[in-house]
Amino acid sequence: MLKPQVVHKSQYTRKPFLAWHNYPPFVSGKCGRGTQVSFPFLWKPISENTTGRKNNIGVRRQRSAVKAVTAYDDVKVTNVKATVTVQITVASNLSNLSLSRGLDDVGDLLGKTLLLELVAAEVDPKTGLEKATIKGYAHRKGSKDEDVDYECEFQIPDDFGEIGAVLVENEHHTEMYLKKIVLDGFISGPVAAVCNSWVHSKYDNPQKRLFFTNKSYLPGNTPSGLVNYRKKELQILRGDGLGERKKSDRIYDYDVYNDLGDPDSDEDLARPVLGGKQLPYPRRCRTGRPRSKQDPLTESRSGDIYVPRDEAFSEVKSLTFSGKTLYSVVHALIPSLENIATDKDLGFPYFTAIEQLFNEGLPLPPHQTGGILGDIIPRLVKFVSDVEKNVLLFETPQLFDRDRFSWIRDVEFSRQTLAGLNPCSIKLVTEWPLKSKLDPEEYGPPDSALTTQVIEQEILGFTTVEEAIKQKKLFILDYHDLLMPYVKKVRELKGKTLYGSRTLFFLTPDNTLKTLAIELTRPPMDGKPQWKQVFKPSWVATDAWLWKLAKTHVLAHDSGYHQLVSHWLRTHCATEPYIIAANRQLSAMHPIYRLLHPHFRYTMEINALARGFLINANGIIETSFAPGKYSIELSSVAYDLEWRFDLQALPADLIHRGMAVEDPNSPHGLKLTIEDYPFANDGLILWDIIKEWVSDYVNHYYPDSKAIQSDEEIQEWWKEVRQVGHGDKKDEPWWPELKTPKDLIGILTIIIWITSGHHAAVNFGQYDFAGYFPNRPTIARNTMPNEDPSEERWQLFLNKPEIELLSCYPSQIQAATVMAILDVLSNHSPDEEYLGKEAEGAWAENPIINAAFERFNGKLKEFEGIIDARNADRNLKNRSGAGIVPYELLKPFSEPGVTAKGVPNSISI
């Protein structure tokens, strides 16, 4: 039996600097197989640089401390140095003058910053019990750039085995951001644990943090010593579903969207709960805030909306970029605009006044000089020294900069349905005549006014309607049935109007679309029968102006659908349940968690910001987009009618819309209905690249179906996504099964495509395509002048049709507000994480996965060259030509800023 040697005391322990017996020890190390020997924090163990046998304890005096080495007879130990990399945070610098900061500095000085506990991967083979952890305090060693390294030396008995995890206790009074832990000294090489996580102070929460090393394990392969740790960590992340969440919490739970309204402030700000039978919707993260006093179904609102701590923006993104910029637009810029506006409903008096936003700007109140606006939004707010005032001066959007008049042309209107902001709404016409599915008793006759006769007048010389449908040359943007139930409601709101709309296009021999006609419909209301009218391109002056106005309404409809469905619902909103379920059901050491995690970063934070400022009652969307206060309710209706998980796959979506058919002899196994369809052409290459990477990854960990079916974590994750996160659709038959590696590859490819490619396609071109808002107005404020017109209005239209168009556009306040928001949302952060650019730590350490990632990265670089070549091809008229903005929205990499290219890993803005 091994016996610990005697530790000799030193005279220097008689008068300690502090009453150390009231504090935890500086070093607490497990030596050999048993006894723990603790030393006061003023003592330091002698460093050893070799691995060998120790037979005694040496004590030597050195200055004011005693160095001691504890060892056991015939026990071989390995000397290991742990280096913990901590990111210097702005928050910690701001607390330099506080008492807690002073105590933390003393702790650093005395080497008492982080308590580390090394966890053995395997249980003791003799007892079958977990081995006791090996403990030690890490002390501050030095700093480099924005990081500080803390070090701790351990003596690890060889029978301790492999390190599986590290427990961390933060001895500071403030949280710390740990980037990684590296254990160096093993013969087999360093052992690392990538953290990238906030670690709370033990004074706020005594619970220690657990970080698994970079080795990934399926549940059935979990090392025996980590099984309980794996289960316990998931239990912590699930929480108990009770109480209000604190900022430092790391708890993932579900709730309905019941926090968009604010009835306690104003009864007009009450909003229905989204989620449930009446208004189905995906679930959001539970915050646990108290209920509203006026409406027990509504959660009260507060300035900060809880997200689990590690879901928050990085400090670069939060303090100098996205989060604070968005906040400053809402809380500083918009009030400033309202202060200078004599009339909030005032439109632009002439088109050159719109252009002045880019060359002269809007003056802001003098008190903003040098304040938050100039600091946070330097791209927009310019300081003009000669007049000593701030000016809101917008950058010229790329579309307007290349061609000032492109927005007027019908060919550009058509082109953008394939290569613009919302390229996923156009679909093939397969049934004729067009007919509404709405109740005719409530909404009027269902037959469309877009008749064969009307359309053949436009395609005369090309073909007939029957042949056009047969040859797959007739396409439609159809917002009729979705919008009609809201026409009467929206028209009751001040300064807003709405129609149901259909827009038809014809595919010409050069693969471009010709806009044929627009139908606008108003249901029976206010004692008047249904009104519907067809508008067509015309050389006749009056009809030409009516056509421009009809396009304005359709663009407002398309802008609303884009923002509420193609963007918010399909990416931000639908993804949050995947994130919550992954953190509740997949261990951090699960390979699929590690695959998905980069694609989930920051999404919950930007979603919380959206609930606070953008989609909330009287927020940016409601005040500036066509459906008004019914905007998010409308997205719930779209979720109910249209959203299917299986159709989020790009190939399935294209087939469903009639934009492609399966063809094993064509690239990607699909033949596109429109050969020059930039979103689909580029998207399918990116889809295949993602799918190949996912296939390599999944097939490495799951050699057969049995491995999938026996993985309880992945099964529970997929079950919770369907039954809870998207629980309002849990009984739908289209949910993919999860029984084989192929099933898992399909599910993961969809999620990664939506969070990366699809989101990039509908987000990062917002400013360049809609910054000059006549190209994509977000709202139409007036009805068509020929809808039950008064003599006075009709005459005004005939005399000044330009005034009619300008008054239909957003007001000056609405336009400037949306332009500022779109600029923020289109920006790439300086610390943007692009798809396939940098390998995660766990991937890089696995040779097979690392090789697959290198192939992934290489194909993305090749893809960039393909996009450049396509944009230079003069035969592809939907992406090249005089004044045309090249289609680069799916180009993988980008520099920071508004670039209209770059595919980030995740929905981070």
What residues are annotated to the active site? Answer: 567, 572, 759, 763, 909
> CA 899, 900, 901, 903 torsion: positive or negative?
positive
Contact 230, 119 (CB under 8 A): no
Instruction: Count Cβ neighbours within 10 Å for each residue of 85-110 and write b for 16 or more, e otherwise.
Output: bbbebeebeebeeeeebeebeebbeb
Q: Which two tokens stand for residue 435?
A: 């007919």
Smallest CA-to-CA distance from 138 within 158, 172, 112 is with 112
Residue 434 phi, psi (nearest 5): -70, 140
Between β-strands 65-68 and 44-45, what pairing exists: parallel, antiparallel or unpaired?
Answer: parallel
Q: Rounded distance, CA 907 to CA 909, Å?
A: 6
Q: Rounded distance, CA 496 to CA 808, Å?
A: 9
Contact 234, 222 (CB under 8 A): no
Q: Rounded distance, CA 579 to CA 601, Å?
A: 9
The CB-side HSE value for 817 (13 A sphere, CA atoms) comes to 28
Q: Which two tokens stand for residue 160?
A: 């301790």
Q: Rounded distance, CA 258 to CA 275, Å?
A: 8
The CB-side HSE value for 846 (13 A sphere, CA atoms) comes to 21
Q: Which two tokens stand for residue 448?
A: 């469309």
Smallest CA-to-CA distance from 566 within 788, 399, 733, 765 is with 765
Q: For the chain, first and last CA: distance in Å?
A: 62
- Say whether 121 sits in a helix, a strand or coil: coil
Q: Rounded distance, CA 505 to CA 418, Å?
A: 12
- Say whether 828 sits in a helix, a strand or coil: strand
Tell whether omega for the bond before 363 is within 30 degrees of 0, i.e. cis. Answer: no
Could you tell me which residues come within 8 angstroms of residue 385 by beta carbon, excluding any fewer than 6 positions away?
A: none
Instruction: Count Cβ neighbours within 10 Å for each residue of 814-850 and write b for 16 or more, e otherwise.
Output: bbbbbbbbbbbbbbbbeebbbbbeebbbbbbbbeebe
Q: Rounded distance, CA 70 to CA 36, Å?
A: 10
Smallest CA-to-CA distance from 480 within 454, 455, 448 is with 448
- Give, in order, the Cα–Cα distances in Å from 159 to each of 4, 54, 131, 212: 17, 15, 10, 20
Contact 252, 583 (CB under 8 A): yes
Smallest CA-to-CA distance from 658 within 419, 476, 411, 436 is with 476
Task: Specify which residues 707 forms β-bridges with.
Answer: none
Instruction: Count Cβ neighbours within 10 Å for each residue of 56-83 and write b for 16 or more, e otherwise.
Output: ebebeeeeebbbbbbbbeebebbbbbbb
Which helix (H) or strand (E) segment is 700 a member of?
helix 678-701
Judged by phi (left if over 0) then psi (alpha if -120 to 50, else beta), residue 461 lies in left
Cβ-based burial of 324 (10 A; exposed 0-12, middle 13-18, buried ≥19) = middle
Residue 364 phi, psi (nearest 5): -110, 160
Residue 350 phi, psi (nearest 5): -160, 165
